[in-house]
Structure 1
């Protein structure tokens, strides 16, 4: 009597390892203290900006209301597909949790 041979296991897909290279001129990065996020049907856009001058009280010509005009300049625009938004949110949460454990700080408070 022979024992049936089990079918061969399907090969596991190879693990993906992305090797990120940062060009020398980008290694220092850019400072941004503001981000505007918007989307269209195909893309999410993240405009990272830095405030360029102190806020200045300004009157809205249409309503007469006073608001703080805060000029900012975009230092980097990043466009991502919707499928990446979830991965970025997970990665940010992991990094924020790690930062909070390491520094003992929460919500960016000193």
Structure 2
């Protein structure tokens, strides 16, 4: 259930960011949900491989190369989903940064508050 909510919240973030940022477009709500699923799958499968193979560049840049990897993930999602378009690398970079911020804020709402017994 939580995974489904996270995908829906990511789709909402994709729609909001597509309306805010120039160079990003989403055809509709279904496309946004597909983009959220594809980004989640790419983050689970492709991102660890990219991080492993670019580890020296990540170390030299003190971790800033992770932003480039996130932009590559967004560009891959652009190629895989028909209703999602990204105009270029810089748009993908800004989109990935803002998407990470939005997802962090939205996912913090899903954390369950468990009361500790004292």
- What is the TM-score when the length of structure 1 is the normalising length? 0.33
Per residue, is there more helix in 1 or in 2?
A: 2
Q: Which has the larger radius of gyration?
A: 1
Q: Which structure would you say has the larger RCO, counting Cα contacts within 8 Å and 6 or more residues apart?
A: 2
Per residue, is there more strand in 1 or in 2?
A: 1
